[in-house]
Amino acid sequence: MAGFTSKDNEIDNMSAQGKVFQNLYTKQFNPTAAAVANEWHTLFRGGGYPQADAIFDTGTNLQFQSLCDQTTNAGCMQHGGNVGAAGDGFKVLTAGMAVTAAATVVPATLVLIDVLAWIRVTSVTTTTAQSVVLSNTFTASSSSGLLLTFANDWQSFTKVRFTTTGTLPTGLSLNTDYWLVRVSATTARVATSFANAIAGTVIAFTDAGSGTHTLTCRLPRSSDGSQVNAIIFNPQATALGAGTPGLSLGYTNSASVASRATPTTPSLPIGKTAATNSHILYTGATGAGKFGCFMPLQGGDAGIQSIQTIQNNATYTSGMYTVALVRKLASIPVQVLGQAVYMDFTSNMYPTYPKIEDGAAIYGILKSGVATPALSAIDIDLNFGWS
């Protein structure tokens, strides 16, 4: 349920003890429209194995939604289940391979990411900063355990912490992580670990406490925000409307410093007009406001712990976009038609030992160096090991 202490420890665990999981995934690039060269696109909505996601264009406008490999319709790459007893362990991505037989995809760069959470924005004609819903007040009652009732629909397995103006219900403590087990659109039970949440083992009801209680969502993994970045993309088949807005986030960084903001120099990231399905809006070859796959962070920041505001400073006339909080796992260059590139992330080649936390929702994003037709398939082999 952890990494390796030595090369011998690695071979002992992965080979002798069989603590290894390997699988082949096939994802289709661009489900709806061809991509322009040098744009980044997510592989979320493309078909293949795993199947296309059906979540990133769902949910209440501007609401934080937690994501893990158990989330219904997530369409993420499965990596063999949890390895920690409480769902708090991790594997290591030991090797990865990518290859495509579609000539018009290569050269390309595949980046594997763990998507931690997403926030859907449908109010794209609003040009002021819009607040993200990250917390709710709640009441407590008894229904097959402690039942919380609140306003928003939170995903199962959302990691939360509680605060109160009085006394929390018995079983809940301040400054402690809990996991929600969704019952309905406005109710959930509470588990003390991710594993308990999956198993349905929840906290019993003793009392409702006193005062006004609040739950606040946390990132399900990398909860302090270290190495966490944001991407903004079109999550649905319908293209965004016309518009080239500057895109910005107000966030708390991984050092828990609030009121951080996307830098405006040399330019805010600028969204592409009529961006198509899966396009990461501010990516492309040329022009002002073009960036790499991740939103730039304020100087000195090493990650995003939470997002407080999202702004497009000019309108998109229609459509929606989604902000996803992600942690990069690995990059795999895809260089030549049909030629696999095998990356060893252990000490033999690129000793980065990417950490795959229990519950990780693994996806790919891809930048093709050439114009790429819709539905082009790319094969991805991943090997995981743990101790």
Name the site residues for other proteins (rule: CB under 8 A): 7-8, 10-12, 14-16, 18, 20-26, 28, 47-51, 69-76, 78-81, 94-95, 97, 99-102, 336-340, 342, 344-346, 348-349, 373-377, 379, 381, 383, 385
- The Cα-based distances of 337 to 24, 112, 368 in angstroms read 18, 20, 12
Q: How near is the Cβ of 28 to other proteins at its closest, in Å?
A: 8
Structure token pair of residue 167: 């006394």
Closest to 100 in 3D by CA, of 320, 341, 324, 288: 341
Q: Which residues contact 145 (CB under 8 A, 6 or more apart)?
A: 189, 190, 202, 203, 204, 205
Q: Is 137 left (phi over 0), alpha (psi -120 to 50) or beta?
A: beta
Q: How near is the Cβ of 331 to other proteins at its closest, in Å?
A: 17
Q: How near is the Cβ of 88 to other proteins at its closest, in Å?
A: 19
Max Cα-Cα span within the chain: 64
Question: 224 or 379: whose CB is closer to other proteins?
Answer: 379
How far is residue 350's CA from residue 160's CA, in Å, rounded to a whole number? 35
Q: How near is the Cβ of 89 to other proteins at its closest, in Å?
A: 16
Identify the H or E element spanning 8: helix 7-11
Question: 20 or 36: whose CB is closer to other proteins?
Answer: 20
Question: 142 or 342: whose CB is closer to other proteins?
Answer: 342
Backbone angles phi, psi at 197, to 5 degrees: -65, -45
Question: 94 or 262: whose CB is closer to other proteins?
Answer: 94
Q: Could you write out the three-class secondary structure of 72-133?
A: CCCCCECCCCCCCCCCCCEEEEEEEEEECCCHHHCCEEEEEEEEEEEEEECCCCCCCCEECE
Q: How near is the Cβ of 279 to other proteins at its closest, in Å?
A: 19
Structure token pair of residue 128: 């002021």
Residue 199: helix, strand or coil by DSSP?
helix
What sign has the CA pseudo-torsion 168, 171, 176, 180?
A: negative
Question: 100 or 236: whose CB is closer to other proteins?
Answer: 100
Q: How near is the Cβ of 291 to other proteins at its closest, in Å?
A: 29
Question: 20 or 33: whose CB is closer to other proteins?
Answer: 20
Q: How near is the Cβ of 387 to other proteins at its closest, in Å?
A: 12
Question: 135 or 376: whose CB is closer to other proteins?
Answer: 376
